[in-house]
Structure formats: C-alpha cells, structure tokens
Amino acid sequence: MKTKFYSFALLAFVATFLAIAPAQAQFRIGSDGLQFDLEDNHKPVQASTIVMVKKNELNIGRRNLSTIPCFEIGWNVIHNPNYSLYAGQELGDFFNINEWKSTQVTVNLLQASAANRSRTLGIGVGLGIRSNDYRFASNQSIERTTGIVMPYEIGLSDKGRSSKKSKFNVASLHIPVEVFFGKPNKFAFSVGGYVDMVMNSHTKIKYYGGHKDKVHNFPTNFIQAGAVARLTFSNISLFASYQPTSIFKTTRGPEIQQFTIGLAL
C-alpha cells in the first residue's frame, strides 16, 4: 500500500513540473541539478535534489529558484480542539501538549520551480517527508478503544519504572506548493499550501531506565492539508502554517487543527 502512495506522489510531482516547463526548453544536467535552458540562455525553470556534487564538492541545499526549503523545523500549537464526541464522559482536554516540545520536522528531497525572466515571480513544488510530534504535557497517552481514540493515565512499566515522557507522532509524505514574490536568493515573500499523505502514526512512551513502548496505526485522516506563508532571506526562512484538516478522522477522535511556526534552511 505504501508503494502505491509513493508512486502516486511521484507521478503528481512529475506532472506538475512538466506543466510549468516551457515547450522549447532544452534539458541538461548541470551543477545546480537538472536544468531546462531556454533558447535565450535564461534558466527560469529548474529541478534539483537536496544533494548535489559540484567540482568534487558535496553540496546540500536548495539550488533552484524556489522558496521551498530543504530542511524545516517548526513548533506545533493546537487550535480550537473539539471534544463533542466524548460528551458526558468527563475526559476533559486530554490532547493537551507541550508546544515547545511538540515539533514538526520536514525534509524536502525533490524540488522543481519556474519563474519569470527577472526571477521576481515564480512557483515552486516539492516532494519530501514530514514528521509531526505532539508531546503530552501530563503523564498520559492515548489508545484505540473499539476504534475510537481514548486517553489513559500511564502506569509503571513491567520493571516498575515510571514514565519519563510520552508523545504522539504522525509521519507523512509531504507535497508543498508555493508562489513567491521577490528573489529567493536575496529576499522573497511566498504563500502556498501543502498536502500530506499519512504513512504512519504511533504513540511512544519512554520510561526511566530506557524502556520504550510503541503503539501504531491510529485513526488519523489520510490526507492532511494546510496553508503556509513564508519570508525568505537568502538561505534562511521564517514560516507560519495553518492546517484546518483534523488530525483524527471524524467520529474516531477529537477534532484538532493546528498552527505551526518555525524556521528553515
């Protein structure tokens, strides 16, 4: 099943790239990755990976005309959680997280971009992987009970150890699209969106002494989408995103949206 997800995402990436590439461009492999050169020697359309070799040197980073970063880290903030599914059960706000320890990490492995001749207006698309961590603020975790997400208080491990930390993680295939205004290699503002296809979700409890417990496959929404705004200063950017898609499926868990703010390289 996961192979089909990867194949679908790759086909979508290639189709988007071909759609923005000019018809009379010439393809070649250059020091900045894969390039499509126009007849007037302008190079407004490029694609690249995050790892390239240039003059016997290994370079890692964004080499094309895009504001989509190679590496991104952000901090998740839960927005307007809805626990109406649990009405009358007095469970409280059980998806309570520590925002400073709830991080979003993204690595974009492939990128493609197109820009006007002055390179002040363009669009970028990417393909990467994303991991969202939600660190619980109290000594609790979540479990599936008859298919529904339920909270529970963490007890002692098999060896009598108390818990050190507990979190919930969602790993996804990440497809971002951003339109930028300005010059990404100097200063640019960009807006866009993303689609994440969830590949795995799990809880993780770490106990004192090193023992860990994991439970996989929670009822999360397969498609999780959101909007993003970004300020790019050469190789560094600041971003803010909002994900209106609930983390969990309707009637299977609390309705939870999130804001994420962070920086990227």
- DSSP bridge pairs for 108: 128
Q: Is residue 160 part of a domain?
A: yes
Q: Is residue 46 part of a domain?
A: no
- pLDDT recorded at residue 209: 79
Residue 174 DSSP symbol: E
- pLDDT recorded at residue 211: 82
Q: Are strands 57-60 and 71-82 parallel, antiparallel or unpaired?
A: unpaired
Residue type, 90: E
Using left for φ > 0, alpha for ψ between -120 and 50, and beta otherwise, residue 156 falls in: beta
Q: Which residues span the domain enclosing 205?
A: 66-264
Q: Is residue 4 part of a domain?
A: no
Q: Which of helix, strand or coil describes residue 126?
A: strand
Q: Is residue 202 part of a domain?
A: yes
Rounded CA-CA distance 144/217 in Å is 9
- pLDDT recorded at residue 79: 85
- pLDDT recorded at residue 18: 46
Q: What is the pTM of this model?
A: 0.78
Q: Is residue 235 part of a domain?
A: yes
Please give the backbone phi and psi of residue 39, each rounded to the nearest 5 degrees, phi first: -65, -25
pLDDT tens string, the chain, 265 residues long: the values are 444 444 444 444 444 444 444 443 444 444 444 444 444 444 555 565 555 445 454 444 445 578 899 899 999 999 889 999 998 888 888 999 999 999 999 999 888 888 888 888 888 899 999 999 999 998 899 999 888 999 999 887 767 778 889 999 999 999 999 999 998 888 999 999 999 999 999 999 998 877 888 999 999 999 999 999 999 998 899 999 999 999 999 999 999 999 999 999 8
Taking every pair of Cα atoms in the chain, the longest distance, rounded to a whole number of angstroms, is 72
- pLDDT recorded at residue 128: 94
- pLDDT recorded at residue 253: 93
- pLDDT recorded at residue 47: 60
Q: Please state the separation of Cα 18 from the chain's center in Å.
A: 23
Domain tally for the chain?
A: 1
Q: Is residue 243 part of a domain?
A: yes
Task: Evaluate whether 52 touches 70 at the Cβ level (below 8 Å).
Answer: no
Closest residue by Cα to residue 192 from 253, 138, 237: 237
Q: Is residue 30 part of a domain?
A: no
- pLDDT recorded at residue 158: 67
Q: Is residue 58 part of a domain?
A: no
- pLDDT recorded at residue 46: 59
